[in-house]
Chain A
Amino acid sequence: MTAPTVADRDAQLRRRFDGLGCAQLADAAGEFVTPLRLDLRPRNGRPRLCGPLFPVVTADDMLPCLQALASAPAGSVLFLHNTTTPSEALAGDIFVTSAAVQGLAGIIVNGAVRDLADLRDIDVPVFSTEVTFVSARTTATRSETVPAVVDIGGATLRPGDWIFADEDGFLVVEQHRVSAAITAAAVLRQREDGLKEAIRDTGRTLADLTDLTGFLNGEADLGFVP
């Protein structure tokens, strides 16, 4: 049997995350999870993504963005960090179409995107902090660092580390702990599902499971751990 490739492994991790969320990752692997606190919004109706990061820094200049798009491996998440605010649009329908053809797992822009109506039909999750119809037209300054390390939103985004997003938010996991974090989250999810099933089947409430009454009477500890 041949050993799994990096692409095989990444695909396995993605499949595992399909049944999970950032909440399970944060609960089960809190010490290996860093929240990314940016006001990012899904721009084409696809609020979930995960994959290894491929960050680049620009200042309203398309050239670093094009360099990064050209270099980002299939399955990666392109992170465009614009140091200029307000931002001109760094990604639109053509840029994202190329990302889709290249098999990228998503695009996150700390800055603006545009062409939202067209992005809806493209099966690559796109997030941004801003939207504008004004396109970045400058292609003046090439980046010497593609991909780059970016410190932002309380997190350090290193190439290869994994980013996860869903309706609850964004978080980052160092690449050498991704497998452990997802496995632990999957175990947590499985046991949570068992508890929910028990509540439904037996009619026992959360107050019963936590012995809330006993706790309030000073007779018991509060809580249960799945």
Chain B
Amino acid sequence: MDRKQFYREVTGFLTKVSAENGTPGSGTEALATDIGEDSNLFDLGLINSFTVIRMIVFIEDLTGAQIDLAEHDLETFYTLRGLYTVANGADQ
């Protein structure tokens, strides 16, 4: 999966999660459609410690492979760019 498509998939997922969780600010739906690839998804309120599992499972299901913990710092899971790296690792 190329980077653009991956970002689109994850952004769609984040939009859905934000809407379900009623993320504070209520602007998150609009925000999720325009996330910078290095934006911190936690700081934006798009994901939190209790919903990050859903994002990880989403990526695992998307790639069909479990993520390889040894390859990544935890901060990798905070940005779209990092998540793409994770997905590529899981893809291999």
A-to-B contact residues, CB < 8 Å: 4, 8-9, 12-13, 16, 27-29, 31-32, 176-184, 186-188, 190-192, 225-226
The contact string, 1 if C-beta is below 8 Å from chain A, for chain B 15-55, is: 00000000000000000000000000010000011101100
The yes or no answer to B85 lying at the interface (CB within 8 A) is no
B-to-A contact residues, CB < 8 Å: 42, 48-50, 52-53, 56-57, 60, 66-70, 74, 77
CA distance A32 to B54 in the complex (A): 10
Question: Please, which residue of chain B has its CB at the minimum distance from the CB of A191?
Answer: B49
Chain B residues positioned under 8 Å from A190 (CB to CB)? 74
CA distance A28 to B49 in the complex (A): 6
Q: Is the CB of B70 within 8 A of A12?
A: yes
Q: Is the CB of B50 within 8 A of A27?
A: yes
Chain B residues positioned under 8 Å from A182 (CB to CB)? 69
Tell me whether A32 and B53 are in contact in the complex, defined as CB-CB below 8 angstroms, given that A183-B77, A226-B48 are known contacts.
yes
CA distance A9 to B49 in the complex (A): 24
Q: Point out which of A12, A29, A184, A192 has the most chain B C-beta atoms below 10 A from its C-beta.
A: A184
Tell me whether A177 and B49 are in contact in the complex, defined as CB-CB below 8 angstroms, given that A183-B77, A186-B74, A191-B42 are known contacts.
no
Residue contacts A-B, CB under 8 angstroms, 18 given: A8-B70, A13-B69, A16-B69, A28-B50, A32-B53, A177-B57, A180-B53, A180-B56, A180-B60, A180-B66, A181-B53, A183-B67, A183-B74, A183-B77, A186-B69, A187-B52, A187-B77, A188-B52
